[in-house]
């Protein structure tokens, strides 16, 4: 099947990744662990832009940037440089943002996603380093605000801006790309993507080769998909009514799910980029090889290894490597239980139950998983009971052993089942006659009666076999 992209949708994304796992900010020694602290407590002359302060590059931020670049299959530039992007805004304490311009640390990479019609390559234009501005907090709603407060704790946090080519052909592909990207970032361990503001997105959208609109202020993957869906419909409607799409910047109103025009091309800022005189160009060519050595196994490589090492289907390998935490979890379980047996338990059962409850893998411990799989393989409980135990633990906690006891889930011995089978056959002569007369449904009825007698603790498959055996005597 080939996806024909009927509307000629072209979507490009810009993703800001905050390097919140670093100890210090991009250009100063302030701590990055401000998320639970009072505003303006993680600040210094540099990130407040006090007169006379000067930036110093955080070498670990450069390493993280190189890791991201390499993981996105980019070329790392031999010598990189910072520029000033000049504009006025209250969250910008220096009146310019220190960023990169014509010598970004990484460029020309690619990421393969599950596209509309199978594997689809998304080009990465560039990935560059920059600093985060402060955060504005409006008193009351934004339109009726009496005032705005500024928190500079975020000011100067290291950001990596990743810019993609307009290679996505649908909001779904954009979502897949973002999922994949977040997965890679998680694997690299450079950003806690669960923290507020850890990843932020801008998108540009055009249809049928027309002008593109840039959509700003997207803060989640779901939000991205919604914003793009809206924007595509807006542009299509505009064209259908004989209008033309103009190049402009639009704001995504997450609450209303709509995009609103912010400014047109004519109103765009002239950022007057020029090289940051306070930072000398930095040679990184000789560091690249070393950074390559520190790169962890990335999702695609892990997926391939899982199929080989654990002999699992690619579908399972994909599910298990879609999140680093799940992959690590799986490998811990597989170290203790037969991999072939535990694969569906983690990839299908547990992932499904977690997804249903919107829970993370931390909600179910490796030990619980190992224990429950052990019970099944030792024939102590049925598979159905095992699922029930997992659900119970996720919903209300407790240990597997206790739950099995409390709920009386220990599998019933065979002789109890055979007694039940004998009784059922004796008590239901009519059904036995019917079955022997060729009425297949009667078998189901008899098995059901056995299950009823054993109150469900019998294994349905085994009960069926035993009923059949008796009937054929």
Partner 1 sequence: MSKAKWMGISKVRENIAASSSEEVTASYLDTISKSKINGYVTINEGAIARAQDIDNGKEGKGHDGVLAGVPIAIKDNISTKGIQTTCSSKILQGYVPPYNAHVIERLLDAGAVILGKTNMDEFAMGTSTESSHYGTTLNPWDHERVPGGSSGGSAAVVAAGEAPISLGSDTGGSVRCPAAFCGVVGLKPTYGGISRYGLISYANSLEQIGPIATNVSDIATIMDVIGGHDLRDSTSIRQEIAYQDSLVDDVSGLKIGVPDEYFAEGIDEGVEKSVWAAIQKFEDMGATWEKVSMPHTKYALPAYYVTAMSEASSNLARFDGTRYGHVEQGENWHVMASRTRAKGFGEEVKRRILLGTYALSAGYHDKYYLKALKVRTLVKQDFDKALSNVDVLMAPTMPAPAFKIGEKIEDPLALYLTDVNTVPINLAGVPSISMPCGLVDGLPVGLQIIGKHFDESTIMRAAYSFEQNTDHLTKRPAGVE
Q: In the complex, which residues of this chain contact partner 1 (CB under 8 A)?
A: 45, 48-57, 84, 86, 88, 90, 93-96, 148, 150, 270, 272, 274, 277-280
- The site partner of 69 among partner 1, Zn ion, none (C-beta below 5 to 8 Å per kind) is none
For partner 1, which is the closer residue by CB, 3 or 87?
87
3 state DSSP class of 30: coil
30 makes contact, choosing from Zn ion, partner 1, none, with CB < 5 to 8 Å by partner type, with Zn ion
48 binding partner (options partner 1, Zn ion, none; Cβ < 5 to 8 Å by kind)? partner 1
How long, in residues, is the chain?
473
Look at the block and give the residue holding tokens 């592909």: 173
Nearer to partner 1, 58 or 107 (CB): 58
- Given the complex with partner 1, which of 153 and 454 has the nearer CB atom? 153
DSSP letter at 279 equals: S
Nearer of residues 134 and 166 to Zn ion, judged by Cβ: 134
User: 164 pairs with which residues across the strands?
Assistant: 124
Partner from partner 1, Zn ion, none contacting 438, C-beta within 5 to 8 A by type: none
Which of partner 1, Zn ion, none is residue 372 near (CB under 5 to 8 Å by kind)? Answer: none
47 binds, options Zn ion, partner 1, none, Cβ within 5 to 8 A by partner type = Zn ion
The residue (of 40 and 193) whose beta carbon lies closer to partner 1 is: 40
Q: Give the shortest CB-34-to-partner 1 separation in angstroms.
A: 18
Displacement of CA 441 from its chain's centroid (Å): 47
Shortest gap between Cβ of 20 and Zn ion (angstroms)? 15
Contact 82, 103 (CB under 8 A): no
Q: How far is the CB of 59 from partner 1 (least distance, A)?
A: 12
CA atoms within 13 A on the CB side of 148: 11
196 binds, among partner 1, Zn ion, none (CB under 5 to 8 A by kind): none
Q: Which of 248, 185, 255 lies closest to 227 in space, CA to CA?
A: 255
Instruction: State the DSSP string of 110-133.
Output: EEEEEETTEEEEEEEEEEEEEE--
CB of 211 to Zn ion, least distance (A): 40
Least distance (Å) between residue 350 CB and partner 1 = 50
| Residues of this chain that bind Zn ion (CB under 5 A) | 28, 30, 44, 46-47
Q: How far is the CB of 200 from partner 1 (least distance, A)?
A: 22
Alpha-carbon gap, residue 353 to 371, rounded angstroms: 17
Tokens of 195: 């923290």
Quote the distance between the C-alpha of residue 121 and its chain's center.
19
Min CB(152)–Zn ion separation in Å? 8
Q: Which is nearer to Zn ion, 49 or 69 (CB)?
A: 49
Q: Residues 120, 110: contact at Cβ < 8 Å?
A: no
Structure tokens, 301: 């490589």
DSSP characters for 128-142?
A: EEEE---EEEEES-T
47 or 77: CB nearest Zn ion: 47
Question: What is d(CA 183, CA 448) in angstroms, rounded to the nearest whole number?
Answer: 46
User: For residues 42 and 464, which CB has a smaller minimum distance to partner 1 in the complex?
Assistant: 42
Smallest distance, Zn ion to C-beta of residue 33, A: 13
**What Å distances lie between residue 210 and 8, 203, 303, CA to CA?**
9, 15, 38
Shortest Å distance, C-beta 105 to partner 1: 17
Partner from partner 1, Zn ion, none binding residue 56, C-beta < 5-8 Å depending on class: partner 1
| DSSP sequence for 304-362 | HHHHHHS---HHHHHHHHSSHHHHHHHHHHHTTS-HHHHHHIIIIIIHHHHHHHT--GG
C-beta closer to partner 1: residue 208 or 275: 275
Smallest separation (angstroms) from partner 1 to the CB of 15: 26
Cα 274–chain centre separation:
36
Q: What does 137 interact with, of partner 1, Zn ion, none (CB < 5 to 8 A by kind)?
A: none
Residue environment code for 186-199, b if the CB has 16+ CB neighbours within 10 A, otherwise e: bbbebbebeeeebb
- C-beta of 57 vs 341, nearer to partner 1: 57
How far is Cα of residue 242 from the mean position of the Cα atoms in its chain? 39
Task: Specify the pairing of strand 118-131 against strand 158-164.
Answer: antiparallel
Among Zn ion, partner 1, none, what binds residue 96 when CB lies within 5 to 8 Å by partner kind? Answer: partner 1
């Amino acid at each position: 099947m080939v996806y024909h992209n009927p509307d000629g949708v072209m979507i490009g994304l810009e993703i800001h990744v905050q390097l919140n796992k670093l100890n210090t900010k991009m250009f100063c020694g302030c701590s990055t662990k401000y998320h639970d602290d009072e505003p303006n407590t993680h600040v210094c002359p540099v990130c407040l832009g006090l007169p006379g302060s000067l930036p110093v590059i955080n070498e670990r931020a450069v390493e993280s940037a190189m890791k991201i670049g390499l993981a996105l299959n980019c070329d790392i530039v031999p010598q990189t440089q910072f520029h000033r992007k000049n504009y006025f805004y209250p969250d910008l304490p220096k009146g310019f943002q220190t960023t990169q311009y014509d010598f970004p640390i990484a460029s020309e990479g690619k990421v393969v996603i599950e596209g509309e019609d199978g594997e689809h390559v998304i080009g990465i234009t560039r990935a560059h380093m920059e600093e985060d501005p402060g955060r504005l907090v409006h008193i009351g709603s934004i339109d009726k605000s009496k005032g705005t407060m500024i928190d500079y704790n975020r000011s100067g946090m290291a950001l990596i801006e990743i810019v993609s080519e307009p290679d996505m052909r649908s909001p779904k592909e954009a979502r897949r790309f973002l999922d994949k990207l977040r997965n890679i970032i998680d694997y690299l361990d450079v950003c806690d993507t669960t923290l507020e503001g850890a990843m932020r997105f801008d998108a540009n959208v055009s249809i049928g080769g027309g002008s593109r609109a840039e959509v700003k202020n997207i803060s989640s993957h779901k939000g991205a998909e919604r914003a793009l869906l809206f924007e595509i419909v807006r542009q299509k409607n505009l064209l259908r009514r004989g209008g033309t799409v103009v190049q402009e910047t639009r704001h995504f109103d997450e609450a209303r799910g709509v995009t609103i025009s912010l400014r047109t091309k004519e109103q765009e800022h002239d950022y007057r980029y020029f090289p940051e005189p306070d930072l000398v160009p930095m040679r990184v060519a000789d560091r690249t090889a070393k950074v390559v050595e520190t790169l962890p196994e990335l999702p695609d490589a892990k997926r391939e290894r899982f199929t080989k090492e654990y002999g699992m289907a690619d579908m399972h390998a994909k599910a298990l490597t879609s999140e680093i935490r799940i992959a690590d979890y799986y490998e811990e379980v597989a170290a203790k239980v037969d991999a072939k047996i535990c694969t569906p338990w983690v990839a299908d059962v547990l992932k499904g139950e977690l997804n249903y409850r919107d829970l993370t893998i931390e909600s179910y411990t490796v030990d619980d998983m190992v224990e429950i799989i052990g019970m099944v393989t030792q024939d102590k409980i049925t598979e159905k009971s095992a699922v029930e135990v997992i659900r119970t633990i996720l919903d209300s906690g407790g240990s597997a052993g206790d739950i099995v006891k409390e709920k009386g889930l220990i599998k019933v011995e065979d002789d109890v089942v055979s007694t039940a089978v004998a009784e059922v056959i004796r008590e239901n002569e009519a059904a036995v006659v019917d079955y022997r007369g060729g009425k297949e449904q009667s078998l189901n009825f008899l098995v059901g009666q056995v299950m009823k007698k054993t109150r469900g603790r019998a294994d349905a498959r085994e009960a069926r076999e035993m009923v059949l055996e008796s009937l054929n005597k």
